[in-house]
Amino acid sequence: MRIAVVALGKIGLPLAVQFADMGHEVIGVDVSQTAVDAVNAGEEPFPGEAHLAEKLGELIPSGALRATTEYSEAIPGADAIVIVVPLFVNDETWEPDFAWMDSATKSLAEHLTPGTLISYETTLPVGTLRGRWKPMIEEISGLTEGKDFHLVFSPERVLTGRVFADLRRYPKLVGGLSDEGTRVGIEFYEKVLEFDERDDLPMPNGVWDMGTAEAAEMAKLAETTYRDVNIGLANQFAVYADKVGFDVDRVITACNSQPYSHIHRPGIAVGGHCIPVYPRLYLSTDPDASVVRTARSFNATMPSYVVGRAEELLGDLNGLRVAVLGASYRGKVKETAFSGVFPTVGALREKGAHVMVEDPMFSDEELQAYGWEPYHLGDQVDLVIVQADHAEYATLTPQDLPGVRLLIDGRRITDAQRWVGIPRLTIGGGTLALDVE
């Protein structure tokens, strides 16, 4: 097959590589000339994706994969088009911002030829494929969906850093605007993916028929919204544990020892491209989902809650030197999308603190580009807040943070045994840990 992949980001590029690695001719489209040049040179535009560099090094010289900024070069004659363009959400209104998606859709529609399958993998509000993209593509292209081309939704279900493993591990969900469209979509993905055997699934691992695009859209929203709601519940339990004086981690571990409880762990923030965003996409079409709205709102308060706890214990934070450890939204990922670092730094600055940020994955120049003063281990500091669970933080000691009067570990990554005699606080820990027996 000849396949076009629209947007060569942290999901799109590995997908393009996967398709090419399965023996198909793949051309990627991206608005960034820098990204396109890197791909065509066989170089990864971003670090951290397992096996990506080596696969690019094989596929680019062979001609199986190439990149362009021109839709006119990639779209005509394609058997399939896969779109992984980012969709944003307005932080204030919680409404989806379709600007980039609209632009990409219009561009591909201008060059669409008959006989093409179009698959959207970007997470969308329910009804978007049928109500927004179908009429837009038909109007611009002059072609008819279901006759001249097929539209399906097949959500990406992978994590950056391990995309190729996740493509094998998780079932691929496909739903079209018609039974025939769904069939064509399933046939396509069966040709470009391979799956691990799993005996824990109700049916064989592989491409799963979701019946309709709406069901496929909802499946991705549901699995991520579940996590946000679950974390919101864990965070509420943690705040209550701090009030009453017990360790919520012990409670959750006990609850999850039987098969009907799957409580997640509390934390300072819910970050990343998915979990803080997709519940809002769901709410955009189901505004009456009060449970979802409450959980999303509560999770957003956790950075301020942590800063408030520091103020309770240290008093006025004005002028104190504070190090926030971790710019990333999660450990081992060099990505700041909706990271808790932003509201944490903001809340500290509102209190008048002198805030610095440290992250082993970011250079000083990169941290400064965000408007943060870099912190270096060994520099004097009064308060330390662990925001990301980088593995490097597990071995931190007070000697690494001279002058520290309080450590608040928002991820439970630090080792309590290394902090004997220094106030150490965890979210939901119940009491301030001053020593360890």
Q: pLDDT-based confidence at 433, cuts 50/70/90? A: low
Structural domains in the chain? Answer: 2-211 (3.40.50.720), 244-437 (3.40.50.720)
Q: Give just the sign of the alpha carbon dihedral 120, 126, 131, 132.
A: negative
Mean pLDDT rounded to a whole number for the chain = 96
Confidence class for position 434, pLDDT limits 50, 70, 90: low
Q: Residue 71: name the closest of 36, 43, 123, 44 by CA.
A: 36
Using a 10 angstrom Cβ sphere, with 0-12 exposed, 13-18 middle and 19 or more buried, the burial of residue 163 is buried
Residue 436 predicted with pLDDT over 70: no
Which amino acid does the sequence have at 388? A
Instruction: Give pLDDT, residue 276.
Output: 93
pLDDT tens column, 299-350? 999 999 999 999 999 999 999 999 999 999 999 889 999 999 999 999 999 9
What confidence score (pLDDT) does residue 93 get?
Answer: 86
pLDDT in tens, 142-155: 999 999 999 999 99
Position 47 scores a pLDDT of: 84
Q: What is the pLDDT of residue 435?
A: 46
- pTM of the predicted protein model: 0.91
Asked whether the CA dihedral 36, 38, 40, 42 is positive or negative, the reply is negative
**Where residue 437 falls among pLDDT bands split at 50, 70, 90?**
very low
Q: What pLDDT digit, counting tens, does each position of 366-393 carry?
A: 999 999 999 999 999 999 999 999 999 9
- Residue for token digits 């001279």? 402
Contacts of 100 (CB under 8 A, 6+ apart): 85, 86, 87, 88
Of 54-68, 158-172, 422-436, least confident by mean pLDDT is 422-436
Of 349, 362, 281, 364, the residue nearest 319 (C-alpha):
349
pLDDT band at 90 (very low <50, low <70, confident <90, very high): confident
Would you call 176 helix, strand, or coil by DSSP? strand
Residue 173 · residue 157 · CB < 8 Å:
yes
Q: What is the mean pLDDT of residues 260-275?
A: 95
At 273 the pLDDT is: 86
- Chain segment 228-260, per-residue pLDDT in tens: 999 999 999 999 999 999 999 999 999 999 999
Residue 430, pLDDT score: 82
Burial of 349 per CB tally in 10 Å (0-12, 13-18, 19+): middle
Task: Report strand pairing: 96-97 vs 88-89.
Answer: antiparallel
Can you tell me which residue has the tokens 């590995």? 14
The answer to whether 86 touches 48, Cβ cutoff 8 Å, is no
Mean pLDDT of 79-104: 93
* CA trace torsion 188, 18, 125, 101 (10° rounding): -100
Task: Decide if 168 contacts 200 (C-beta within 8 A).
Answer: no
Quote the Cα angle for 17-20-24, to 5°: 155
